[in-house]
Amino acid sequence: MKIIDKKLRAGIIRFPGSNCDYDALNFFKKYGHESRFIWYKETQMPPEINILVLPGGFAFGDRYYEKATGEYTINPGELAVKSPVMEIVFAAASKKIPILGICNGFQILVKSGLLPGKLARNDSGKFFCDNIACEVLGDSFFKDKEILGKIFNIPVAHGYGKYIASEPEIFSLETRGHIFLKYKGINPNGSVKNIAGISNEEGNIFGMMPHPERSPDGKYFIKAMEKYVFG
Amino acid sequence: MSLDNPIAAALAEAMASEHTSYKSTKKFLSKLPVKGKYVIQGPGENAGILDLGGGWALAIRIESHNHPSFIKPYHGAATGVGGILRDIFTMGARPIGLFDFLRFGNDKNSKSLIKEVVRGIADYGNCVGVPVLGGDVYFDDTYSHNCLVNVAAIGLVKKKNIIYGNAFTPGNDLIYVGAKTGRDGIGGAQMASKNLDSLEESAIQIADPFLEKLLLEACCELSETNWTEGMQDMGAAGLLCSTSEVVIRGRKKSHLNLGAEVYLNKVPVKSPDMSPVEMLLSESQERMLIVGKKEHRENILNLFKHWDLEACVIGKVTDDGKYAVVYDDEKNTNISLKMEFKDIFPDIFENWELKKWEPQKNLYNKAERADLRKIWHQYDWMVGARTIKGPNRPGHYAILNAPEIEKEIIIAWSSDEGRCNQSPSEGMDYAFEKCLSRFKMLGAEPLGITNCLNFGHPRDSMGAFSEAIGALSNKCQSYKIPIVGGNVSLYNACGGHSIKPTPILVMAGVRKK
C-alpha cells in the first residue's frame, strides 16, 4: 500500500444486481483511495467524486421487461440505461469526468451510446471465466504511456462480451488509438480484432470486459487513473 | 384439533416425509460428534457456524438436489444453488463460495443432463455473484437413472450479527418477503423421499437468481441491524415449515409456551384460488420469513422496499402454545384452525433392516481434466476477489483470502470415490483422510465438517448408511473435528436399483498467512 496526497474519490454506481460492487469499492480502498456507492435511483452527483465506475455484475439480472409484470428477454444493460442514475453518468460524461465501465458496466456504456459498438453473446454461447492475457495498446488505459505494450493477466467472466462494430467504426477506433486493450493469445468470446476494451473520442470514458479489480496487476490500472486525474 | 381435520392430516403427512423428519436416519445421525471449541452452531439450524477468530465466523452447509435435477436439470440444479445460498444468508452471513459435486451415468441422457445441470448452476451462481470455487465430477452407470447434484456454500458473518431461525417474543411479527407463493414445488419434500419412478415435473420449482440477489443484499443489511429476532428460509414445505420451525426453536431455547398465528389471506399468491394446504406446502423459491421486532416493523418493510422487494406481515408470535392458521374458506369467512405442535410434528421413527450392502459391478470413472475445464470455465470462480486457489488448478481444495481475519480460509472436500461400494466404512475413512491430508499438506487447521450422505432405497442401503456413519463418527472423534451440519438424501433409486453409497465430506478451516 502506498501513501499518496491526492486521493481518487471513486463513485461506484450500484445497480441492484451489480455483484462486483464491493470488489470495485475495495479496489480503490486497497490502494489508499476513497470510494463510495451511488445507488441507481440517485440523480445528483456527490460533489467530491473525481472518477465514476460502473462495476460488473448483472445490473437487473441481464433482463429487459417491456412491462413490469410481463415476460422478460435477456438483454444485458438495456434496463440499466433507463434508470435514474444515468443522469449522473451523462452529466459526468459531458463534464469530462473520467468514467470506467467494467464488464456489465462496459455493456451499459455501450447500450447508452457513450461508447460505440455492441457487446454480443460469446461465440461459444456460454459464460466464460478465466485469467486471460491482455495487451495494452492504442492511446493506452487513461492515456498512461508507461503501461503501453505491457501484457497483463486479467480475469474475464462474462456471457456477453463479444465486441462488434461496423467496419468503418472499427477502422476509426483502431486508427484513432481508441482500442486500448486486446486479448493476447486466447480470445474468450470471439470479439472482432480481439478487442477487450475501448475508449471514447474525448478519452475520458473507458470500457473493458476484463476485471482489473480482480487482477494481481491491478495497481497499474490504479496508477493510470491517478495520473489521469492528478496529472 | 386432532388429525381428523383434513388440513392437520395433510400437514402431518408432509412433515412426516424423510426429507423433513429424518425418521429413518436420526438415530444414526445422533452418533456424530457435533460439539467443539470452534462450533458456534451445529446441526439443526439453516447452516452450521464455525468460529474463525477476530470476531468473524464461517457459515457452511451442503444440500442435495438429486431428484429435481434428474427431472428438470436446469431448474433443479439452479434452485439447489438458490436454496443453499439462502441457508447461508438466512444466518446473516454473506455467501463467499459455492462448490458442486456431480455424479452422472455414462449414457446419452446423462450427458445431456449434466450439460443442463452445469448451465443451471452457472446461471444462478454467476448472477447472484457467488464464485464456484471447486467440486468434483464422477461417472458411473449406477447414476444413470438417478444423478447426484450436491451443492455446498460458505459465508462470512460477524459473530455479533449471526441471526438464528427462532422467535422468542409474543407479539413480534412474522414477515414474508420475496417471491409470491405459487403451486410450483408442492410436494417437494415428499418427492425427495420417494423413488424416482413416480415423480412429476410440476413439483420442481423455477429459479430466479436476480430475486435471490435482492434478498441476499437485503438480508445482509438486515443482519447489521437489531431489528430482527430471527430469520428462516422457506424451503421444504415452505410456509408451514418456516413459520412453525422458528417457534419450535424458540420454545426449545426459551422454555416459553410460544405459538404462532399465520394469516394465509395476507400471503402474496401467484394464483388466487390456492387452497390453504397448497399455500402452506408450496415450495416456491426465493422466499424468506423474518421474525421482526414489532417496534421496527416500518424499518424492516422500508429496507425491503429499498431493494424493490415485496414484504408483508403475515402472522405473529403468540404465547398460547398453538399453531394457528387463519384463512378464508369458500364462504369467504375467516376460519381459524388451532393445532398442537405435536400433531403436525409427530416424533416419528422408521426402522429398516440393516442389510449388508451388495457391491455393484459398474466402473467408477473420474472426469477428464479437459471435461472439467469446460465446466468450470462456465462458472465465475473469481467474483468477490477472494479466490487464491480455485478450480483452475487441480486438487480437491480451495483457498480464499479473508483479510477480515488476516487469514486464509481453506475448504477441502472428498467423496469415497467409489470405495463405499466394496466397504462403506472404508469408503468413508478414505473420504475423511483425503480431506485431512489436504489440510496437512497446506499447513492449515480444520475446524469442522459438513456432509451430504447420498444413499439408495433404505431397504437395501440402510446397512451401508449405518456403517458409513459409524466410520465417520469414529474419525471425527479421534481427530476432534466435529460435524456442523449436513444433509441426508435417501431413496436415490429407480426401478429397484439403488445407487452406490455416495457420501461427500466438506472440511473447513483456516491457515495463517
Domains of chain B in start order, with CATH, are 6-11+164-344 (3.90.650.10), 36-161+383-512 (3.30.1330.10)
Active site residue B255: no
Nearest residue to B492 (alpha-carbon basis) of B482, B484, B479, B501? B501
Residue A3 covered by a domain: no
The answer to whether residue B188 scores a pLDDT higher than 60 is: no
Residue A49 covered by a domain: yes
Q: Could you tell me if B317 and B172 are in contact, meaning their C-beta atoms sit under 8 angstroms apart?
A: yes
- Chain A residues whose beta carbon lies within 8 Å of the beta carbon of residue B308: 16
Which of A35, A129, A187 to substitute to test the interface with B, most B CBs within 10 Å?
A129
Residue A75 covered by a domain: yes
pLDDT of residue A5: 66
User: Residues B31-53: what's their mean pLDDT?
Assistant: 95
Q: Read off the C-alpha cell for B480.
A: 476432534
Provide, rounded to the nearest whole percent, the portion of chain B with pLDDT above 70: 93
CATH number of the domain that residue A136 is part of: 3.40.50.880
Selecting from A16, A63, A157 the residue whose C-beta is nearest the C-beta of B382 gives A157
Q: Do A126 and B126 touch (CB under 8 A)?
A: no
Q: Do B385 and A214 touch (CB under 8 A)?
A: yes
Task: Give me the sign of the Cα torsion angle A129, A133, A136, A137.
Answer: negative
Helix A218-230, helix A21-30: angle, nearest 10 = 70
Would you please indicate which residues of A are annotated as catalytic (active-site) residues? 103, 211, 213
Residues 6+ apart with CB under 8 A from B103: B137, B138, B139, B140, B143, B147, B148, B454, B499, B502
Helix B297-306, helix B209-223: angle, nearest 10 = 140
Which of B121, B380, B393, B400 to substitute to test the interface with A, most A CBs within 10 Å?
B380
What pTM was estimated for this model as a whole?
Answer: 0.94
Q: Do A126 and B214 touch (CB under 8 A)?
A: no
Q: Tell me if residue B139 falls in helix, strand or coil.
A: strand
Q: Report which secondary-structure segment, H or E, holds A122.
A: none
Query: A44-50: long-range contacts at Cβ-Cβ below 8 A with a sequence spacing of 24 or more?
Result: A44/A88, A45/A11, A45/A88, A45/A91, A45/A92, A46/A11, A48/A9, A49/A9, A49/A10, A49/A11, A49/A92, A49/A97, A50/A8, A50/A9, A50/A10, A50/A97, A50/A98, A50/A229
Distance from CA of B17 to the nearest CA of A (A): 35
Q: Which amino acid is at A188?
A: P
The pLDDT-based confidence of A69 (bands split at 50, 70, 90) is low
B428-464 tens-digit pLDDT: 999 999 999 999 999 999 999 999 999 999 999 999 9
The answer to whether residue A4 scores a pLDDT higher than 70 is: no
Selecting from A23, A56, A63 the residue whose C-beta is nearest the C-beta of B210 gives A63
Selecting from B122, B209, B385 the residue whose C-beta is nearest the C-beta of A23 gives B385
Q: Do B378 and A126 touch (CB under 8 A)?
A: yes
**Overall number of domains in chain A:** 1
User: Residues B23-48: what's their mean pLDDT?
Assistant: 92
The answer to whether residue A68 scores a pLDDT higher than 70 is: no
The answer to whether residue B240 scores a pLDDT higher than 50 is: yes
The pLDDT-based confidence of A230 (bands split at 50, 70, 90) is very high
Higher-pLDDT residue of B80 and A72 is: B80
pLDDT of residue B372: 97
- Nearest chain A residue to B125 by CA distance is A19
B333-358 tens-digit pLDDT: 566 777 777 777 777 788 899 999 99
User: Residues B221-244: what's their mean pLDDT?
Assistant: 91
Which of A1, A12, A19, A31 to substitute to test the interface with B, most B CBs within 10 Å?
A19
- Chain A residues whose beta carbon lies within 8 Å of the beta carbon of residue B381: 129
Q: Could you tell me which residues of chain B have a Cβ less than 8 Å from any Cβ in chain A?
A: 119, 122-123, 126-129, 209-210, 213-214, 217, 307-308, 376-385, 392
Q: Do A129 and B385 touch (CB under 8 A)?
A: no
Q: Do B383 and A16 touch (CB under 8 A)?
A: no
Higher-pLDDT residue of A69 and B52 is: B52
Q: Read off the C-alpha cell for B153.
A: 456454500
Alpha carbon distance B341, B246 (integer Å): 12
User: Residues B146-160: what's their mean pLDDT?
Assistant: 98
The answer to whether residue B1 scores a pLDDT higher than 50 is: no
pLDDT of residue B203: 60
Q: Which amino acid is at B513?
A: K
Residue A111 covered by a domain: yes
The answer to whether residue B43 scores a pLDDT higher than 50 is: yes
Higher-pLDDT residue of B399 and B331 is: B399
Q: Read off the C-alpha cell for B45.
A: 439450524
The pLDDT-based confidence of B185 (bands split at 50, 70, 90) is low
Nearest residue to B100 (alpha-carbon basis) of B440, B456, B417, B396? B396
Q: Do A61 and B122 touch (CB under 8 A)?
A: no
- Chain B residues whose beta carbon lies within 8 Å of the beta carbon of residue A213: 385
- Chain A residues whose beta carbon lies within 8 Å of the beta carbon of residue B122: 126-127
| Helical ranges in B185-228 per DSSP H | 188-191, 209-223
B122-131 tens-digit pLDDT: 999 999 999 9
Residue A42 covered by a domain: yes
The answer to whether residue B2 scores a pLDDT higher than 50 is: no
Domain residues for the domain of A107 are 9-230
β-pair partners for B407: B402, B512
Alpha carbon distance B94, B273 (integer Å): 37
The pLDDT-based confidence of B190 (bands split at 50, 70, 90) is low
- Chain A residues whose beta carbon lies within 8 Å of the beta carbon of residue B376: 129
Residue A2 covered by a domain: no
DSSP state of B147: -
Mean pLDDT, all residues of chain A: 94
pLDDT of residue A70: 62
Residue A160 covered by a domain: yes
Alpha carbon distance A163, B275 (integer Å): 51
DSSP state of B100: E
User: Residues A100-104: what's their mean pLDDT?
Assistant: 98
pLDDT of residue B12: 78
Greatest Cα pair distance, chain A, in angstroms, is: 52
pLDDT of residue B189: 56
Provide, rounded to the nearest whole percent, the portion of chain B with pLDDT above 90: 74
Lowest mean pLDDT among B58-62, B220-224, B326-330: B326-330
Residues 6+ apart with CB under 8 A from A216: A153
pLDDT of residue A1: 46
pLDDT of residue B81: 97
B97-124 tens-digit pLDDT: 999 999 999 999 999 999 999 999 999 9
